[in-house]
Structure 1
Amino acid sequence: MDVLFRQNTSEAERLETLRNYQVLDTPPEDVFDDLAKLAAYICGTPISLVSLIDAERQWFKANVGLDGVESTHREISFCQHAMFGNDVYEIENAVEDPLFRTNPLVVNDPGIRFYAGAPLITPSGQPLGTLCAIDRVPRRLTEEQREALRILAREVVSHLELRRARLQLEQEQRKLDGLLRMANDAADSLYMASRNELFIKQDHKLVRVSAADIRYVEALGDYVNIYAGRERHTVYSTMKELETKLPPREFARVHRKYIVRLDRIVAIEADAAIVDTGRVGEPTHLLPVPIGSSYKSALLGRLNLV
């Protein structure tokens, strides 16, 4: 009972490790394809696979020589035996091996006779699968070929580690980008809130003026007049500076000498904006404000024209 429990726990941990690499069912990648091709070339076999053992299947991250095959059932795979070994697992002639002689992969297509698989072992010691070389005729690897297969298997694991690290960095970058967007949105909200009111220097004191009360702004040499209800505030400033301090969604520059509050425009007549300068609840007081030719297109673009 205890042995079975430990085996099930160990397999669950192995599968969790495998899935943490986020590699299952991903498209082919050149680096793994190249390692499989190199294994086939060195071992002199027509087939080579980077095989990852999932719960019920072996799935091929790289596939040389088994065109159209993405996976097979785990229960008939050679690799499920090879991945738990400490060294290259080699079957010289599968039809003479009691474990594999009746295996569907031996009896039927692809007709495996020779198999050699080097386990893919993670730095934490978990087996993920194998890098294997397969042939349809019996053969035996030289010690040099076995050593090359071991080296290539370690390279597969190294690239799996690099791939996982890159994915983790990309995920962290996306999280950071999200946090930065949230911070920027918060900053923008604070910035917009700060532009809902102005503090104007008048007679050695600062007077608070709500942006909602401002009807229009008029340039006057080195000064500007800010008209807010019945009040007129004259300050030493420029129109450009005032533009940056007023909520951009609520105000528009209509002339080099005028900025108006959009919701106070009651009509456009020829080259003038008719602005209601009165206070809420009081009789309407209409004022024509000239529209400069270079500002007219932008102004009309901000109005809800029908």
Structure 2
Amino acid sequence: MPKLTSSKLSTETGSPSGFSSSSVQSAEADRLEALRNYQILDTPPEAAFDDLVRLAAYICGTPVSLMSLIDAERQWFKAKAGDMDIAETHRDIAFCQYAMMAEDVFEVHDAQLDPLFRQNPLVTNDPNIRFYAGAALITPEGLPLGTICAIDTEPRHLTVQQRDALRILAKEVVAHLELRRARLQLEQETQKLEGLLRLANDRAQSMFMVSRSEIFVKQDSRLVRVHTEDIRYVEALGDYVNIYTSRERYTVYSTMKELEAKLPSREFARIHRKYIVCLDRITAIEGDSVQVDVGRVQDRNVPTLIPIGNSYKATLLSRLNLI
């Protein structure tokens, strides 16, 4: 299996032969921008990543496994399995900064014998690393973010199957990063849209504050203009209300109190805790119910029967022209 040797490392982590320092700096800037676009640095533990590092430890047979992300001057551990108390280290001493640049799984069999790592404080002091194996986390654009790695305090070698499993786990980590980023972007876009809709609704409300002859309702991420004169009645359904017009039914997230404040008070009346009716659409009162002409072509001459709440009946009768 191809490995990154100490001589190759000094080239790849510095200024590679044939590449200017400016191109190396540009590539590092692109890498850091990609990492920050995932919005994952310094976030709390997440089960998906914790599960993957546990799998890495089980598969590789090591007491410790990590998901490491390499920032500009540090390596930060998003997920940890095993006895590893530190949350981050300086980038200069990170094994993972070399592993993420390797062409394949980067493996150090015995760090005490490796000239690149034998003076590393992570080797000479706690956690006393002897064995390290890391697979790079490569974005779909080909930019390395860090590694998923397995660590032991005893020298060892991975089998062919274990190395292959570590490659697969690295791809799974990146897949979860992509899903996580997509979810965050969707949430942010949804918040922006809701903010715009609230702004539009507020402006619409102010435009028609005097007459309140129109309201705007949100339907499938659209704002729909509804003429209040076309509303027959309103029905409460928990956190939502149904607005019935002569042609349509609109279901919106609102309360009866909010909607009642938007309707012209001279034309509408609350007749029940669950119902608001247009007074002009009442065709009859029978006992504790009113009949409302819904006005739909298919339902014409078939009025709707709506109950009257006891506490609303006197107010309703006082607003009707009784003979």
> Normalization by structure 1: what TM-score?
0.64
- Match for residue 158 of structure 1? 175
1:65 Cα shift? Answer: 1.9
Q: Once the two structures are superposed, what CA deviation does each residue of 1:149-196 show, in whole Å capped at 9, x if it has no partner?
A: 000000000000000000000000000110110111122112313349
Determine the C-alpha separation between the residues in 2 that align with 1:144 and 1:10: 32
- Match for residue 104 of structure 1? 121
Residue 70 of structure 2 is aligned to residue 30 of structure 1:
no
Please point out which of 83, 102, 108 is paired with 1:91.
108
Q: How many residues align?
A: 209
Distance 1:247 1:151, change over 3 A: farther
- Match for residue 50 of structure 1? 67
Structure 2 segments unaligned to the other structure (5+ residues): 1-14, 214-261, 271-310, 316-323
Residue 139 of structure 2 is aligned to residue 122 of structure 1:
yes
What is the identity, as a one-letter code, of the residue corresponding to 2:193?
Answer: L
Residue 95 of structure 2 is aligned to residue 78 of structure 1:
yes
Query: Do the aligned partners of 2:56 and 2:169 also contact (CA within 8 Å) in 1?
Result: yes
Query: Do the aligned partners of 1:18 and 1:128 also contact (CA within 8 Å) in 2?
Result: yes
What is the identity, as a one-letter code, of the residue corresponding to 2:169?
Answer: L
- Match for residue 56 of structure 2? 39
Distance 1:5 1:181, change over 3 A: same
Let me know the Cα RMSD of the aligned residues.
2.4
Query: Do the aligned partners of 1:93 and 1:139 also contact (CA within 8 Å) in 2?
Result: yes
- Could you tell which deviates more after superposition, 176-185 or 118-127? 176-185
Determine the C-alpha separation between the residues in 2 that align with 1:18 and 1:31: 18
1:247 Cα shift? Answer: 8.4
Distance 1:180 1:4, change over 3 A: same
1:118 Cα shift? Answer: 0.2
Query: Do the aligned partners of 1:195 and 1:247 also contact (CA within 8 Å) in 2?
Result: no
Matched residue of 1:137: which SS? coil
Determine the C-alpha separation between the residues in 2 that align with 1:172 and 1:135: 43
Distance 1:59 1:247, change over 3 A: farther
What is the identity, as a one-letter code, of the residue corresponding to 1:146?
Answer: R
1:66 Cα shift? Answer: 3.7
Query: Do the aligned partners of 1:51 and 1:129 also contact (CA within 8 Å) in 2?
Result: yes
What is the identity, as a one-letter code, of the residue corresponding to 2:45?
Answer: P
Determine the C-alpha separation between the residues in 2 that align with 1:61 and 1:247: 60
Residue 9 of structure 2 is aligned to residue 9 of structure 1:
no
1:246 Cα shift? Answer: 4.8
- Match for residue 190 of structure 2? 173
Matched residue of 2:20: which SS? helix
Q: Percent identity?
A: 66
1:62 Cα shift? Answer: 0.3
Please point out which of 152, 160, 172 is paired with 1:135.
152
- Match for residue 166 of structure 2? 149
